[in-house]
Each structure stands twice: as structure tokens, then as C-alpha cells.
Amino acid sequence: MTSAPVPAGDLDGSGLPRLLVTGGNGQLGRAIRAVAGAAPATAVVSLGHADLDITDEAAVSSVVRPGDIVLNAAAYTAVDAAESDVAAAFAGNETGPAVLAAVCAGTGARLIHLSTDYVFAAPAQPRPFEPGDPTGPESVYGRSKLAGERAVRKLAPDAHIVRTAWVYTGDRGDFVATMRRLERERDTVDVVDDQIGSPTYAVDLAAGLLELAGRIGRGDGTLPPVLHLTNAGRASWFELARAVFAAVGADVDRVRPCSTAAFPRPARRPAYSVLSDRVWIEAGLTPLRHWRTALTAALAGIR
């Protein structure tokens, strides 16, 4: 008796597509592995940069299979370095996504591409950005990410672009982790209070992306091409820093507000980049919890 062949892209015979994650060793990639491993619903293959250079078309073609869902979490994210390293930023954020999109379109795979709030400029009247709002990046990083979005839309019209913002895990290298370290090292910390955004816990973001991938894998053709996904609510970096101090039992008054002008950086940051999750919710996808609740959970998990 012979067994039925496993469809291309279906590693475990479950009928669900294989999820191929690029940028698998990054902040979000690690979170996706953790969330998928805790509630396995499909086969997940996670590839770091050492495993796959997304700018290499031959390499990408060798791993993407018909029926796959490719979740692109690979990106050049050194915002300040991008101002002088323009070619590398556009290679990682435009060329790589373009290669993935072309290969996915050619093989019948589906693509979910991660983008950023940096594609927007601060509005004249602050309100949460909707997916269809006009873009206007103010940095090389933002321009490279917008170029990647456009390449994906052109080369893989059935792809989905998910913009997110202020992503952290709290355990290494990100803003929340930095505030935890500075709380131990300094008596006071000055943090800008004139940049407003949407703090997003990588684990919550990963859960939302896996839900989206599941809908795509079940053949849902109603999903919008561009979506926003962040934890609910908004905050300044100052407010987020105070929340970190409060969560670890430190005196929040040790965090002092300052202006962006007090900390000049090579790349200009959006003064307001809150993302609206209205389209995400209207698509029947689960909204993420409030950022304060998520931060509490994140810090409780790494103590």
C-alpha cells in the first residue's frame, strides 16, 4: 500500500501550507518560532541571514516551494547607519523583498512582508495612520522600506504588507531592554517625550502574523493587501520608559522628559506615527492587547 503524496509546500501532510520565515534569527523571527512552537498548527521553517540571503534570487528560488507562505521578517534596521549606508539599506529593504516577491509569484507561494511606521511623515493633525494614507518617509530607512513595499505590490499583487512599529522583546538590544539596563546603571535617564508611536511586543506581533498566515493558508481571499498591526494605545518614548521603570519597581521620577533636539541623531524620526488597526479588525483578525498590558507580560516573562 502506498501513501498519498505530500503536496508541495505541505511538509507534514496536514493540508496546511508550510510557513517559511526569513530573518528567522532576528527579534521577530525568534518570537515567531516561540509562538508557533507553543501552539503548532503548521510546519514552520525559520531561516536566518546565514541560511538565506534574500537578495540572492538563486538561493531564494532553491528554498521557496509552491504553496508556501513566506513571511519576510528580514530587513536592514540600522536606522541611523542607513543615512550613510544607503546601498545596504536599499539592498536589504527593497532588493531583497523584490526578489522574494518575484520568486513567490513565479512559484505560486504567498508572501507576507513586514514594513514600518517610518514610511509616514508626521501629519498636520495627528491621528492614527490608516493603511491607505499618503506616505512620506523622512529618512533613508523609511524610503528604503517604502521602496520595498512598492516592489512587493508590483511583483506579487496577492502579497500582504503588514506595517508595525516600536517592536521590542525586552531581553536584548531594544528600547525596553535598554531602559532596564539604564535603570540599573544610572540615577536618572533623559528620554524624549515629543515622539509618539505604538509600542509593540514582538510575541504579540508574532501571534497576529501567524493568525494572518493561517487565514491565507485556508484560502481566504478577502484579506486587504495592506494592514497595520501594533499593540493598542499610544505612547511617547518617555511614557514607555516610565512604564518600564514602574514594572521593575523603580521610581518613575528617575525618568526625565526631554525634546528630540536634545538628542540629535543622523536619521530623522517621525514625530507621530501611531498606526490604526481598524482595517485589521474589520478583516476579522484579532486585535492586539493594550501596550501597557503587553509590556507587563513581557517583563514578567524575562525576570
Write out the CATH class of domain 19-169+200-232+274-289.
alpha beta
- Residue ranges of the domains in the chain? 19-169+200-232+274-289
- Please answer whether residues 126 and 272 qualify as being in contact, where contact means their C-beta atoms are separated by less than 8 angstroms: yes
Q: What is the C-alpha to C-alpha distance for residues 105 and 11, in angstroms, rounded to an integer? A: 20
Mean pLDDT for 24-42 is 85
* pLDDT of 42 strictly over 80: no
pLDDT tens track for 130-166:
999 999 999 999 999 999 999 999 999 999 999 999 9
Helix (H) or strand (E) holding 70: strand 69-72
The mean predicted confidence, pLDDT, of the chain is 93
The total of other beta-carbon atoms located within 10 Å of residue 147's CB is: 19
The residues near 282 (Cβ < 8 Å, ≥ 6 apart) are none
* pLDDT of 80 strictly over 50: yes
Q: How confident is the model at residue 303 (pLDDT cuts 50, 70, 90)?
A: low
The residues near 184 (Cβ < 8 Å, ≥ 6 apart) are none
Give the least confident one: 10-19, 181-190, 227-236.
10-19
Q: How confident is the model at residue 8 (pLDDT cuts 50, 70, 90)?
A: very low
* pLDDT of 213 strictly over 70: yes
Query: What is the model's pLDDT at position 124?
Result: 81
- Please answer whether residues 168 and 30 qualify as being in contact, where contact means their C-beta atoms are separated by less than 8 angstroms: no
Q: How confident is the model at residue 41 (pLDDT cuts 50, 70, 90)?
A: low
Question: Would residue 141 show up in a list of annotated catalytic residues for this protein?
Answer: yes
* pLDDT of 199 strictly over 50: yes
* pLDDT of 6 strictly over 60: no
* pLDDT of 10 strictly over 50: no
pTM over 0.95: no
Catalytic residue among 76, 118, 141, 201: 141
pLDDT tens track for 274-295:
999 999 999 999 999 999 999 9
Query: What is the model's pLDDT at position 60?
Result: 98
Q: What is the C-alpha to C-alpha distance for residues 9 and 55, in angstroms, rounded to an integer? A: 22
The residues near 200 (Cβ < 8 Å, ≥ 6 apart) are 164, 165, 166, 167, 168, 229, 230, 231, 288, 291, 294
What is the identity of the amino acid at 207?
A
Q: How confident is the model at residue 2 (pLDDT cuts 50, 70, 90)?
A: very low
* pLDDT of 125 strictly over 90: no
